[in-house]
Amino acid sequence: MTELSEDDRAAVNELRGAVMRLSRRLRHQRVDETLSPTEMSVLGTLARCGSATPGELARKEHVQPPSMTRIVAMLESKGLVRREPHPDDRRQVVVTRTEQAAAMLEESRTKRNAWLASLAEGLTPEELAVMRQAAPVLEKLAHL
């Protein structure tokens, strides 16, 4: 493991602040204002990872299982997920996103991408090149 220099630590601090501000602004670019950020995150996890048990979702979302049970119930009442019997364990259920959720996520993704693209239009060609290089690094940090 490489020890960070003082300049690297300053860059980490600057990155943290920038990511937090950008994330906050992105959250305001939602299609459905009735969903909480956690509910949107659960739908995103189901889109990326496929169907899952509530326990698996709780682990992936870093919430307690009872909280996930409430989140799944809320999403189900809005027609965004459905619970189905687990194929191997009759004591459990599997949560699957609905077509309505897939359409809403796609609309949300399109809106957020358009907003970010409009911001990127204000960047110089050099800054755009840096952004293209930074995207995979930020993705890696998000999953470490």
pLDDT tens figures, 60-86: 999 999 999 999 999 999 999 999 998
The backbone torsions φ and ψ at residue 94, rounded to the nearest 5 degrees and listed phi first, read -115, 135
Q: Would the pLDDT of 1 be above 80?
A: no
Per-residue confidence band for 56, with pLDDT thresholds at 50, 70 and 90? very high
Question: Could you tell me the pTM of the whole model?
Answer: 0.79
The backbone torsions φ and ψ at residue 93, rounded to the nearest 5 degrees and listed phi first, read -125, 160
pLDDT tens figures, 18-44: 999 999 998 888 888 889 889 999 999
> According to DSSP H, which parts of 28-124 are helical?
37-49, 54-61, 65-77, 99-120
Q: How far apart are CA 99 and CA 96, in angstroms?
A: 10
pLDDT value of position 37: 86
138: exposed, middle or buried (Cβ count in 10 Å: 0-12, 13-18, 19+) = exposed
How far, CA to CA in Å, does 5 sit from each of 13, 116, 138?
12, 31, 19
Mean pLDDT of 96-111: 94
Residue (of 49, 93, 48, 50) closest to 72 by Cα position: 93
Q: How far apart are CA 70 and CA 74, in angstroms?
A: 6
79: three-class secondary structure by DSSP = coil
What is the CATH number assigned to the segment(s) 31-143? 1.10.10.10
